[in-house]
Structure 1
Amino acid sequence: MQALLALSRAIDKLNAFVGKYSIWLIFAATVISAINAIVRKVFNYSSNGFLEVQWYLFAWSFLVAAGYTLLHREHVRIDVLNSRLPKKVQLWIEILGLIFFLTPICILVLWLCIPMLGEKFATGEMSPNPGGLLRWPVWAALPVGFVLLLLQGWSELIKCIAFLRGQGPDPTVKLGEKSAEEELAELLRQQAAAAARNPAPHAH
């Protein structure tokens, strides 16, 4: 189990690194958009390449950050029922979802998109728009993004199993968020500190 937890931590670090720097893709898209607007207004010139590179950058930022989003448990979840269930049941729902939904979907997407990426790279397919760009660079975001998402799914699976075995923290708590036990301990510490500052008067 310790080897698997080490693998999980390595995957978490990888997606944390990717997520941290993927914001620069958004920044680059914003800068290009601004430059495109200025050039169009000042020189009355524009190109579909400017527009497409913005789409490419957005696609890359969206797809490669999917694993980072899962790491921070920020994907849309419908927890109206799930949050009321016992913790053990919640973990088993998470495990089954990761095994039977996330993993097969990621593998299916990779199975479908990798040959298409190879074909577009081999043929040098271009955008049909005048002044458009090569297509394979944006298609490359699909396998990269889904590999990172798949790896993060397996990392979450490892953490769920470790928690059920009593060998790891609660993986259902968002990073930086306190668990119910930690919140209770913090409340008790605050109450104790308040009682120390304002001791009750002795009865006479």
Structure 2
Amino acid sequence: MGAIEKLIEKLIDLVEGALAFLLLLMVLNVALDVIMRYFFHNSLVAMQELEWHLFAIILLFGISVSLKEEAHVRVDFLFERFNDRIKAVINILGTLIFLLPFALLIAAGSFSFVSDSWMMGEISEDPGGLPYRWLIKGMIPLSFSFLILSALGYILRNIRKFQEAGK
């Protein structure tokens, strides 16, 4: 169980590094777009669309990273008062009851959304926009599948914490 947990954490760390790189690209893209717009009175639709494409990827995959880093939202003023075993149980049950069903619903439900976009060869509606709109839509089931993997690692980590707190 520990090897699986470590493998999942390493994979999440790789994605975290990729997201940091994408964030840098997004910042550079926004800066360049602002410079072009205000100094040269010119702007490219593709650059503006790339901003929200990168932001969407960072946000969608960042959910899994924040789960690993325990940076997700919860009622900390109550949670911090519990002992480690109760915290682990709350994390496990919350993940099983709330997170996994939601992630499974979104991952499974978004396949037809992406498939329809791919089948029709959806592109940007704006002239000069980015092609392959299905590619960014494909990040939805991919990121929520990754969230499911991250949630399984989170459950394994909390099982280990529960066992260690009982010793």
Counterpart in the other structure of 1:32: 29
Q: Is residue 2:42 matched to residue 1:51? A: no
Counterpart in the other structure of 2:149: 151
Q: How does 1:95-134 map to 2 (within 5 A)?
A: 95-134=92-131
Superimposed CA distance per residue, residues 90-116 of structure 1 (whole angstroms, 9 cap, x where no aligned partner): 221111111111110110000111221
Tell me, in whole angstroms, the C-alpha distance in 1 between the residues paired with 2:111 and 2:41: 40
Bigger relative CO (Cα 8 Å, ≥ 6 apart): 2
Tell me, in whole angstroms, the C-alpha distance in 2 between the residues paired with 1:167 and 1:7: 20
Q: Is residue 2:117 matched to residue 1:141? A: no
Q: Which runs of 4+ in 1 moved over 6 A?
A: none
- Give ranges in structure 2 of 5+ residues lacking alignment: none
- Say if 1:15 and 1:65, in contact at 8 Å, map to a contact too: no
- Give ranges in structure 1 of 5+ residues lacking alignment: 169-204
Tell me, in whole angstroms, the C-alpha distance in 2 between the residues paired with 1:129 and 1:161: 50
Q: Is residue 2:61 matched to residue 1:64? A: yes
User: Displacement, 1:138?
Assistant: 1.6
User: How does the TM-score come out when normalised to structure 2?
Assistant: 0.89
Tell me, in whole angstroms, the C-alpha distance in 2 between the residues paired with 1:98 and 1:40: 45
User: Displacement, 1:43?
Assistant: 4.2
Tell me, in whole angstroms, the C-alpha distance in 2 between the residues paired with 1:40 and 1:156: 44
User: How does the TM-score come out when normalised to structure 1?
Assistant: 0.74
How large is the Cα RMSD of the aligned pairs?
Answer: 2.0
- Of 10, 18, 25, the residue aligned with 1:13 is 10
- Of 71, 75, 83, the residue aligned with 1:86 is 83
Specify the code of the residue in structure 2 equivalent to 1:39.
Answer: M
Counting matched residue pairs gives 165
Identity across aligned pairs (percent)?
28
Counterpart in the other structure of 2:163: 165
